[in-house]
Chains A and B, each alone.
Chain A
Amino acid sequence: MSSLSVRHLTKTFGALRALNDVSFDMVEGEVLGIIGPNGAGKTTLFNVMVGINVPDAGDVLFKGKSIKRLLPHQICRLGITKTSQIVHPFLTLTVRENVMVALMFGQNLGKKESQNKADEILEFLNITDVRNLPPSAISLPKRKRVELARAIGTGAEIILMDENLAGLNPKELEEGMEIIRALKRRGKMLVVVEHVMQAIMGVCERLIVLSHGEKIAEGIPSVVCNNERVVEAYLGAGTCSA
Chain B
Amino acid sequence: MLLLLFPLLKPQGYYFRMFSMMFLWMGLSSAWNITSGFAGYIDFGAVAYFGIGNYATALLMTKAGLPFTSSVLISGILSSFIAMFIGRYTMRLRGAYFGIATLAFAEAVKQIVFEFDRTFKVTLFEGSHGITLPIVHDDRFFYYIFLGILFFIVLTAFLIDRNKFGYALKAIKEAEGSAELAGVNTRRYKVASYALSASLIGILGGVNAYWLTYISPLDVFSVIHTIHMIVMALFGGIGTVFGPVLGACVISLANELIGAKLLYTYLLMLGAILLVVVLFLPRGVIGLISMKRSRR
Contact = CB atoms under 8 A, between A and B. Distances in A.
Q: Do chains A and B interact in one complex?
A: yes
Interface of A: 50, 52, 71-73, 76-77, 81-82, 84, 88-93, 97, 100-102, 104-107, 110-111, 150-151, 153-154
Given A100-B167, A101-B167, A76 B174 contact: no
Contacts of A105: 164, 167-168, 171, 179, 182-185
Given A73-B179, A73-B186, 10 more contacts: A73-B183, A76-B183, A84-B178, A90-B175, A90-B178, A100-B167, A101-B168, A105-B164, A105-B182, A106-B182
Given A104-B164, A111-B163, A111-B164, A71 B180 contact: yes
B287 to A, nearest CB: 11
A119 B184 CA distance: 20
Instruction: Pick from B179, B183, B185, B186 the residue with the most CB of A within 10 Å.
Output: B183
Main secondary structure on B side of the interface with A: helix
Interface residues of B, number: 20
Contact of A93 (B174, B185, B186): B174
Interface of B: 163-164, 167-168, 170-171, 173-175, 177-186, 239
Contacts, number: 86
Contacts of B164: 104-105, 110-111
Those 4 A-B pairs whose CB atoms lie nearest each other, nearest first: A106-B183, A88-B175, A90-B174, A72-B180
Nearest to A83: B181
A50 B167 CA distance: 22
B185 A73 contact: yes
Contacts of B184: 73, 101, 105
A91 B170 CA distance: 9
Contacts of B179: 73, 90, 101, 105
B182 A93 contact: no
A104 B178 CA distance: 14
